[in-house]
Amino acid sequence: MKRWLYPALLIGLLIGLWQLASSTGFLAEVLDVEEFLVPSPAEIASSLWENRSLLAENAWVTLREIVFGFACAVAIGLAFAVAMHLSETVRLAAYPLVVASQTIPILVLAPILAIWFGYGVVPKLAIIALVCFFPITIATLDGLRSVDPAAVKLMRTLDASRWQIFQRVEVPTALPSFFSGAKIAAAIAPIGAVFAEWAGSSEGLGRLILLDNGQYQVARMFASVLVLSAIAIVLYSLLALAERRVVTWR
Amino acid sequence: MNLSIAAVAHSYGDLRTIERLDLAVEPQGVVGLVGPSGCGKSTLLELICGLLEPSAGTIAVGGAESANERLAGCAYMPQRDQLLPWYSAIDNAGLALRNRGQSRAQARESAAALFERFGLAGFEASAPQDLSGGMRQRVAFLRTLVSGKPVLALDEPFAALDAITRGEMQEWLAAALRTDPRTVVLVTHDVEEALYLADRVAVLSARPARIVAELRAPHPRAADRDAAITDPAFVAVREEALRALHGGSR
Ligand SMILES: Nc1ncnc2c1ncn2[C@@H]1O[C@H](COP(=O)(O)OP(=O)(O)OP(=O)(O)O)[C@@H](O)[C@H]1O
Ligand SMILES: [Mg+2]
């Protein structure tokens, strides 16, 4: 109950303050801009409703990019983490590369990928996967490495093969860490999607935000952002749910 | 299966843990090892089980000296129970069978008979973290028994328990070894426990460990524990052991 009530109260309070500040013209005055540039929550809500089919269409595009990009990131992240765990050579060789991958400014990379691959879905998946695979890889690798050496010893005396130790001790130990990494990734995936769409796309919420920015459609920009957050929250919640179903021993 | 340790030494880098240690255990014999904290008792068990290699000397389990053959011949019960929280009690007990390729159902069937016999019936499906300390220790011990290996290396099996549960568990282990005799090396810091459960007790010195006294227990695994441990012969040997222990740690 408190888990829902407290955030709801806080959000309600913030929205109330915002409504008050914008409808009295206070915000516009402070920011020294025209009043239509500072939409109130009520205006955003009505924009959300009026543009529902436009937003839904574009949200569907962005949602697909996010889900598939995230799925790629999980596959790549797990593959990297497992390979780096099983082979010291791979770990030493790949670790700097994995970290370096996060220093690439996606604002620079996104247009390059758009030039190479066009306006299709490929550059979007690449960008989203690039921002998402890092937390998944690092968290999963940490999880795999946090295995209790005593448990491994025990398994060896119980005639376990390397594979069985991996499957029966290392994987379960790493699962909670994997989920932590995946939840972080889910929360940042929409940011990757927006950047990717800005670099070149014909549809999607990121693209819509870009167009609305040019036309001072501030209320609808906020509406798009709301939908994006909703996508991230749903994805995060699904992962949290899956974690509770899978990691039953915590 | 007999166990023989001849002129064994071991060190972790510069830290000398064991110095020229000789010990022989006849088939189905039970030897207790007591020694001051940190003297190298667990290290000695890991050496016996083939988890570590001695830097000098030989260890033979049933005549076989290689680490892999020792691993195959010894079952190890680690100092902490090391039950895997992601498996139920019965699946923990049957781990060795699973590792040898039996199906989950087969492994459960083999372990179930022992659950019945050792008063764990009804707790097969329980998670380890839902069991009492005494039950966890019993499940951990069953796991070593189910592995079917001729030599058992038990590392302070009851150290984590309160005095009453501990006495009960000692009687329980004595009964288990009477019906299912194995070659046992039992590490404990409790002289009374060692003298009650073992045929012979070796007292170790402080690190680097060597044997400072070997004592024969008057009533190994007697059905009436209270009578056995209050018997004057028992009390006399216990005092002798304590003297050796305190002399050896100085
Ligand atoms: N993997 C390791 N690397 C380096 N040193 C170790 C390692 N394991 C144990 N030691 C050290 O070796 C010594 C002997 O350890 P060991 O665990 O065998 O002692 P013990 O007699 O079992 O002690 P306790 O009574 O506390 O269980 C200790 O000083 C310990 O700190
Ligand atoms: Mg120890």
Give the residue extent of every domain in chain B.
3-82+150-248
B95 with A148: Cβ contact below 8 A: no
Atom of ligand 1 at shortest range from CA of B35: 21
Q: Where are the domains of chain A?
A: 1-35, 39-246
Name residue, tokens 């988890």: B51
Query: What tens-digit pLDDT sequence spans chain B (250 residues)?
Result: 888 898 888 999 889 899 889 999 999 999 999 998 888 899 999 999 999 999 998 999 988 888 889 999 999 998 888 999 999 999 999 999 999 999 999 999 999 988 887 788 899 999 999 998 888 988 998 999 899 899 999 999 888 788 888 888 899 889 988 888 899 999 998 899 999 999 999 999 888 888 888 889 888 888 888 888 888 888 888 888 898 888 754 4
The beta-carbon neighbor of B99 closest among A150, A160, A250 is A160
Supply the pLDDT for residue B13: 87
ipTM (interface predicted TM): 0.86
B147 with A160: Cβ contact below 8 A: no
Show contacts of A110-119: CB within 8 Å, 24+ apart. A110/A195, A110/A196, A110/A198, A110/A199, A110/A200, A111/A199, A111/A200, A113/A196, A113/A199, A114/A199, A114/A200, A114/A201, A115/A200, A118/A200, A119/A200, A119/A201, A119/A202
Q: Single out the residue of B151, B212, B240 nearest to residue B19, CA to CA.
A: B212
The CATH superfamily assigned to A39-246 is MetI-like (1.10.3720.10)
Rounded to whole angstroms, how far apart are CA atoms B227 and B219?
10
Q: How far is A95 from chain B (nearest CA, A)?
A: 29
Binding site membership of B38 for ligand 1 (Cβ less than 6 Å)? yes
Atom of ligand 1 at shortest range from CA of B209: 21
Supply the pLDDT for residue A119: 86
For residue B213, the cross-strand partners are B203
The mean of the pLDDT values for chain A is: 92
Supply the pLDDT for residue B249: 47
Supply the pLDDT for residue B117: 78
Q: Are B95 and B143 in contact (CB under 8 A)?
A: yes
Tell me the residues of chain B between 88 and 127 that have a Cβ less than 8 Å away from chain A.
95-96, 98-100, 127
Nearest listed ligand to the Cα of residue B155: 2
CATH topology of domain B3-82+150-248: Rossmann fold (3.40.50)
Q: Are B126 and B172 in contact (CB under 8 A)?
A: no
Tell me the whole-structure pTM to 2 decimals.
Answer: 0.85
A249 with B99: Cβ contact below 8 A: no
A159 with B100: Cβ contact below 8 A: yes
Rounded to whole angstroms, how far apart are CA atoms B225 and B132?
23
